[in-house]
Amino acid sequence: MNKSSVFEETYTSYLTQIAGLDFKKIADRLGAEMVAEELIIPFFGKPIRVSTAGISEGSGGRPNFSVCVVLFKYLLLCPDHDPAGNDWVSFKDFKDSAPFAGAFFNHTEIPLAKYFSGRLKELEAACQGIQGHPPASTFSYDLCMQFNALPKIPVLLLFNDADKEFPAQCAVLFERRAENYLDMECLAMVGMLLFEQLKRAADKPA
């Protein structure tokens, strides 16, 4: 079976799973808007439509597979109550992160640091391009930006540009309670999708 067939089979399986959910009941809990039979969920600021018929973005097409999986899991793992824990933690601090911590470092934090090394202003503009904003707390970094990956999953980017002594460094943090909304594989995907979105925003013609 080729990769596209596996993706399609997985996508169809998730559609079957969400068919049993009460969308109205979980809409408020997940910060989603209910319109007719669809949930509208902003993903990094862009509205995505989710229904038992499928997932679509503004153009009407289906988002990439990773985005779909994250959204499916966001619905399926919806907690019964708003969990506590709004302190910022690194990915490796989550108790079940070990199998994915290396991938998160190698496919999110290192690529972000390398790609935007010496391009601090471009990174700031790219962050603003996907609705990033300064966080409420102060951090000792060259650039600090917060994003809403999903309504209940803010993400914090901390970036120090390269200087004469050190290469550029980047940390991507989540609220501790994020593990109640997504599993570790999906949180790792969120990190990789953040890098892809920032890279795309930076490379977009002026």
Could you tell me if 135 and 112 lie in one domain? yes
Element (H, E) at 174: strand 169-175
Residue 199 backbone class (left: φ over 0; alpha: ψ -120 to 50; beta: rest): alpha
Domain contains 83: no
Confidence band for 180, pLDDT divided at 50, 70 and 90: very high
Could you tell me if 110 and 183 lie in one domain? yes
Q: For residue range 110-132, list pLDDT tens digits in order.
A: 999 999 999 999 999 999 999 99
Count of domains observed in the chain? 2
The CA R_g of the chain, rounded to the nearest whole Å, is: 17
Could you tell me if 196 and 138 lie in one domain? yes
Could you tell me if 104 and 184 lie in one domain? yes
Query: How many CB atoms within 10 Å of residue 187?
Result: 25
Report helix angle 65-76 to 3-18, nearest 10.
Answer: 20
Place of tokens 């559609």: 15
Looking at 76, 98, 125, the residue that finishes a domain is 76
Alpha helices in the chain (DSSP H): 3-18, 23-30, 65-76, 98-104, 110-115, 120-129, 184-203
3-state SS assignment for residue 52 = coil
Could you tell me if 160 and 121 lie in one domain? yes
Could you tell me if 131 and 191 lie in one domain? yes
Could you tell me if 172 and 134 lie in one domain? yes
Domain contains 82: no
189 token code pair = 């995907």
Domain contains 190: yes
pLDDT greater than 80 at residue 147: yes
Q: Average per-residue pLDDT in the chain?
A: 95
Mean pLDDT, residues 70-93: 96
**What is the structure's pLDDT at 2?**
60
Could you tell me if 152 and 111 lie in one domain? yes
Could you tell me if 38 and 132 lie in one domain? no
Residue 157 and residue 92: Cα distance in Å, rounded? 15
Range of the domain at 28: 3-76
Domain contains 81: no
For residue 38, give every residue at least 6 positions away whose Cβ sits within 8 Å of its Cβ, in sequence order, or none: 49, 50, 51
Could you tell me if 72 and 166 lie in one domain? no
Comparing CA positions, the residue from 109, 108, 17, 2 lying closest to residue 69 is: 17
Could you tell me if 60 and 129 lie in one domain? no
Domain contains 185: yes
Could you tell me if 113 and 141 lie in one domain? yes
